[in-house]
Amino acid sequence: MSIPFAFLGQRRGHLRGLVLTGVTAAACGLALGVPAKAVTICDFGGYAGPNGPCASNQVLSFLDKRVTFSSLPSVGAGTVSLASIVQDVFTVQFIFFQPLKPSDPGYPGFGPLLPTVSNATTSYVIDIINNPGWIFSGVKIDSVDAGVLGTRVVKSELNNRFNPLTSLNGVPDPNTGDFALLNGAYNSLNVTDTYSVSGTGALTSFTNTYRESFERVPGPLPLAGALAGLAWTRRLRRRLQAMSA
């Protein structure tokens, strides 16, 4: 069965297109609910899915986005994907093979889980590459809690390029509204997600969403205009010198 999906966008005069058929969608791990728009994906924590294991310094790339991991999720097993949602909005999403619960004895082949999942982390650098003038203009954090209460995911940036965001009990950070703004114009972010599970919580997934926009940068003066301005300045200087003589 074929599952077509088309994503079209226009940027800088170039047409961007992606069509996923049923074969490529299956390769992207739709069995775990990964969006069909994902084009780069790998499996972490020992999960033997169809995508292949993530390397310790895994790089995921799509269009002008690149994600380079410094550490994969320290607790849990599942998939991570880099996906496009709509034009100029994309996600880094972690989906666990089994929900993380504080009281589970563990799952066959993965070893026992900790009594509580406390301050587990994953870290990566996300860049906009080969696209001058484009910057990150908004960030979000969201999660899915299949339990009742007890999950917490905190998104932070090493250099404080945005203020920390928290998704509590499967609810997006209430302080962001649509997107949280950054503390400047950046095309690179060093992100850490810290997640914990307690009580009756069951963390199924968490999603980092990014928005990018074009920031126009004044270009250099045309050569002819610069030379004309220089000649005019010299003539004015000579005239002033003659008047003062």
Mean pLDDT of all residues in 176-191: 92
Amino acid at 35: P
Write down the pLDDT at residue 4.
31
Instruction: Report the alpha-carbon angle 42-47-53, nearest 5.
Output: 35
Query: Is the pLDDT score of 166 beyond 50?
Result: yes
Cα separation, 211 vs 214, whole angstroms: 11
Residue in the block written with tokens 């995508």: 51
Of the candidate ranges 91-95, 132-136, 187-191, 233-237, the one whose mean pLDDT is the lowest: 233-237
Grouping H, G, I as helix, E, B as strand and the rest as coil, residue 243 is helix
Q: Are 30 and 1 in contact (CB under 8 A)?
A: no
Cα separation, 167 vs 231, whole angstroms: 61
Query: Is the pLDDT score of 236 beyond 90?
Result: no
Residue 220 pLDDT level (bands cut at 50, 70, 90): low
Task: State the chain's mean pLDDT as an integer.
Answer: 78
Write down the pLDDT at residue 178.
82
Query: Is the pLDDT score of 160 beyond 90?
Result: yes
